[in-house]
Amino acid sequence: MIIGEQKPFKELCALLDGHKEILVAGCRSCVAICLAGGEKEVGVVAESLRLYSDLNGKEWRVDEVTVERQCEKEFVLDLIERTKGKDAVLSLACGVGAQSVQSLYPGIRVLPGLNTSNMGAPEEQGVFVEKCGGCGDCVLHLTGGICPIVRCAKSLLNGPCGGSQNGKCEISPDVPCAWDQIYHSLERLGRLDLLEELIPPKNWLPSRSGGPRKIVRPEAVLTPVEKELRGAKE
Amino acid sequence: MKSGSNLEKVLDAGNFAVTAEIGPPKSASAESIIKHAKEMKGFADAFNLTDNQTAMARMSSIASAVVLIREGLEPVIQMTCRDRNRLAMQSDILGASALGVRNVLCISGDHQTFGNQREAKNVYDLDSIQQLMVFKRMRDEGKVWSGEALEVAPPLFLGAAANPFADPFEFRVTRLAKKVKAGADFIQTQSIFDMERFERWMSMVRAKGLHERVHILAGVMPLKSHKVALYLKNKVSGMIVPDGVIERLKDAKDPKEEGIQICVEQIQRLRGIEGVHGVHIMAVQWEEKVPEIVRKAGIDNRRRDPNLKHN
């Protein structure tokens, strides 16, 4: 899932400065799970903005809505009625969601209410940890199911650097050394032999380094005729 | 001969090598490097120039190396994976080679959050083992990593770091083996204070026969005070400083002299370990003490060729 956190309330207020008709838009997907932009958070933010507006004479009219998945057109299209007359949408979805809203409603300013952080997982209640670097060329089969690209501070591929001590990363005693974890995972799996192999320079082309990425599943893409038929149906 | 460097010749001849570290200045003037060069000339076979050590922007290791060459000393440039992608590494190594640099130490580099510009973005396109693989291909096959031919291949003596004090301990020899397989000709270790652990590591190295495939230079660091020792122990990841060393410095009348003495004793002990082919002295901000350490350790028995004559 995508992990994000809300920008500080003061920043949200600053973003909205100069706007009047505001829609706070949340998402029931990842950002709801990481307690940043689900229905509950949307309610809190919207109410706080109304209060702030009253106290500071901003004359904001704040409406609120939460969609199933803000990253998907089909759900964002449902906002047609709710966005009418609005001059700003404060999106509490991830950056993907905010961009979807902007692309479908080009006449309304979409403001990011969250800082989108990473692809991760809930570790325990209220704790969310980065897990995947989205490098486009997964190596988890070589590393005992632990991603060195994003969980090692240096994205090393051939084992822990000289800063690994007592299972901790050199950058902080609060950060586990991913390569220490990899070592012990492979040890449990009886596959320490994998650590003896040289892993050559990585091909970063499938990563962000190759430019913006796009995946096409040809068998799923509609033909022009199918698109026309579907258009007629809707 | 792979590079014809002085360090390579000394090691291949079976001599006990000495390398010493020089930290390039936070300055556009090379004055301090020239000063250190004059102090240390003849007391080490080659001199490491650190590469933005502790992630602080300093004079580049390659530029500093050229200053050393002009002074008649042989440099070992350090190159971190933190600040350069593979394009920059290969281009810098070609340039360094053209300027007369023969020895390069391939290292990951301290994470940028240690430095004074924590907001910086790091690179880590390659790790230090991949860096060795790339440089080895350039030297041995005359090709850049992608396979395209170079007009002239760089004659390099390839170095790598090893830290027997980092974890997991059992992996540390495997990592050394990987570095040797990737192309390391020589190894400079992290500063050794825990001699027992180092000897344990060395026996594992010998058990794998690695001491016959790579020249290991044992790292030593003279300590100025017990406070420095405590700092290294508690604040620097991947360092082990036994209490005995800290106590000795704390109880000493003249801690600085005691620090030199400890370092000298370590060198003497290291010299007797099978497979240790030299020492690497890291006298951080204390470079002027290197001649004294070398003299007291009794390893100034050989005239160290100050004239760079590469074959």
Q: What is the pLDDT of residues B121-163, one digit of tens each?
A: 999 999 999 999 999 999 999 999 999 999 999 999 999 999 9
Give yes or no for residue A233 having a pLDDT over 70.
no
**What phi-psi label fits residue A119: left (phi over 0), alpha (psi between -120 and 50 degrees) or beta?**
beta
Residues A138 and A187 in one domain: yes
Chain A residues with beta carbon closer than 8 angstroms to that of B174: 159, 192, 195-196
Asked if A65 contacts A42 with a C-beta cutoff of 8 angstroms, the reply is: yes
CB atoms within 10 A of CB A204: 17
Asked if B146 contacts B118 with a C-beta cutoff of 8 angstroms, the reply is: no
Asked if B80 contacts B114 with a C-beta cutoff of 8 angstroms, the reply is: no
**Does residue A127 form part of some domain?**
no
Q: What is the domain range of residue B74? A: 6-296
**Does residue B304 form part of some domain?**
no
Q: Tell me what pLDDT residue B307 has.
A: 57
| Percentage of chain B modeled with pLDDT above 90 | 95
CB atoms within 10 A of CB B244: 12
Asked if A31 contacts A93 with a C-beta cutoff of 8 angstroms, the reply is: yes
Q: Which two tokens stand for residue A99?
A: 């961009």
R_g over Cα of chain A: 22
Partner-chain contact A153 B177, CB within 8 Å: no
Asked if B39 contacts B193 with a C-beta cutoff of 8 angstroms, the reply is: no
Question: Is residue A59 classed exposed, middle or buried when 0-12, 13-18 and 19+ CB atoms within 10 A define those classes?
Answer: exposed
Question: What is the average pLDDT score of chain A?
Answer: 96
Question: What is the average pLDDT score of chain B?
Answer: 95
Asked if B240 contacts B302 with a C-beta cutoff of 8 angstroms, the reply is: no
Report how far Cα A103 is from the mean position of its chain's Cα atoms.
18
Helix axes B128-141, B86-98, angle to 10 degrees: 50
Asked if B161 contacts A153 with a C-beta cutoff of 8 angstroms, the reply is: no
DSSP string, B42-63: TS-SEEEE-SSGGG---S-HHH
Q: How many separate domains does chain B show?
A: 1
**Nearest Cβ partner for B111 among A153, A168, A184:** A153
Query: % helix / strand / coil in chain A, to the nearest 5?
Result: 40, 20, 40
Contacts 24+ apart (CB under 8 A), B118-124: B120/B55, B122/A154, B122/B82, B122/B83, B123/B81, B123/B82, B123/B83, B123/B84, B123/B85, B124/A154, B124/A155, B124/A156, B124/B81, B124/B82
| Percentage of chain A modeled with pLDDT above 90 | 96
**Does residue A220 form part of some domain?**
no
Q: Which two tokens stand for residue B69?
A: 């060459």
Give yes or no for residue B306 having a pLDDT over 70.
no
CB distance from B178 to chain A under 8 Å?
A: yes
Chain A residues with beta carbon closer than 8 angstroms to that of B90: none
B198: which residues sit within 8 A by CB, 6+ positions away? B164, B189, B192, B218, B270, B273
**Nearest Cβ partner for A162 among B82, B125, B238:** B238
- Which is higher by pLDDT, B310 or B161? B161
CA distance B81 to chain A (A): 9
Helix (H) or strand (E) segment spanning residue A67:
strand A61-67
Partner-chain contact B167 A167, CB within 8 Å: yes
Query: What is residue B24's DSSP assignment?
Result: P
Q: Tell me what pLDDT residue B301 has.
A: 75
Pairing of strands A21-27, A88-91: parallel
- pLDDT confidence of B309, banded at 50, 70, 90? very low
Chain A residues with beta carbon closer than 8 angstroms to that of B181: 198
Three-state secondary structure string covering A174-200? EEECHHHHHHHHHHHHCCHHHHHCCCC
Q: Which amino acid is at A217?
A: R
Give yes or no for residue B17 having a pLDDT over 60.
yes
Q: What does the alpha-carbon distance between residue B263 and residue B267 come to, in Å, rounded to a whole number?
A: 6
Q: Which two tokens stand for residue A150?
A: 């994003």
**Does residue A128 form part of some domain?**
no
Give yes or no for residue B310 having a pLDDT over 70.
no
Global pTM value: 0.95
When pLDDT is averaged across residues B171-184 and rounded to a whole number, the result is 98
Q: What is the pLDDT of residues A108-141, one digit of tens each?
A: 999 999 999 999 999 999 999 999 999 999 999 9
Least confident of A190-194, A225-229, B25-29: A225-229
Residues A45 and A114 in one domain: yes
Chain A residues with beta carbon closer than 8 angstroms to that of B167: 160, 164-167, 177, 180
Which of these three, A84, A118, A152, is where a domain ends?
Answer: A118
CATH of the domain at B176: 3.20.20.220
CB atoms within 10 A of CB B171: 23
Partner-chain contact A201 B81, CB within 8 Å: no
- pLDDT confidence of B232, banded at 50, 70, 90? very high
Residues A113 and A139 in one domain: no
Residues A16 and A109 in one domain: yes
CATH of the domain at A96: 3.40.50.2300
Residues A108 and A159 in one domain: no
Q: What does the alpha-carbon distance between residue A203 and residue A200 come to, in Å, rounded to a whole number?
A: 9
Residue with tokens 């905010």: A98
**Does residue A194 form part of some domain?**
yes
Chain A residues with beta carbon closer than 8 angstroms to that of B175: 158-160
Asked if A2 contacts A31 with a C-beta cutoff of 8 angstroms, the reply is: yes
Q: How many separate domains does chain A show?
A: 2
Q: What is the domain range of residue A31? A: 2-118
Q: What does the alpha-carbon distance between residue B215 and residue B305 come to, in Å, rounded to a whole number?
A: 19
Compute CA distances A124 → A27, A41, A129, B53, B182, whole Å: 21, 19, 9, 37, 40
Q: Tell me what pLDDT residue B305 has.
A: 61
Partner-chain contact B110 A170, CB within 8 Å: yes
CB distance from A103 to chain B under 8 Å?
A: no
Q: What is the pLDDT of residues B47-105, one digit of tens each?
A: 999 999 999 999 999 999 999 999 999 999 999 999 999 999 999 999 999 999 999 99
Residues A62 and A16 in one domain: yes
Q: What is the pLDDT of residues A68-105, one digit of tens each?
A: 999 999 999 999 999 999 999 999 999 999 999 999 99
**Does residue A109 form part of some domain?**
yes
Give yes or no for residue B293 having a pLDDT over 90.
yes
Q: Measuring CA to CA, which residue among B187, B188, B198, B196 is closest to residue B164?
A: B198
Q: What is the pLDDT of residues A23-81, one digit of tens each?
A: 999 999 999 999 999 999 999 999 999 999 999 999 999 999 999 999 999 999 999 99
Q: Tell me what pLDDT residue B300 has.
A: 81
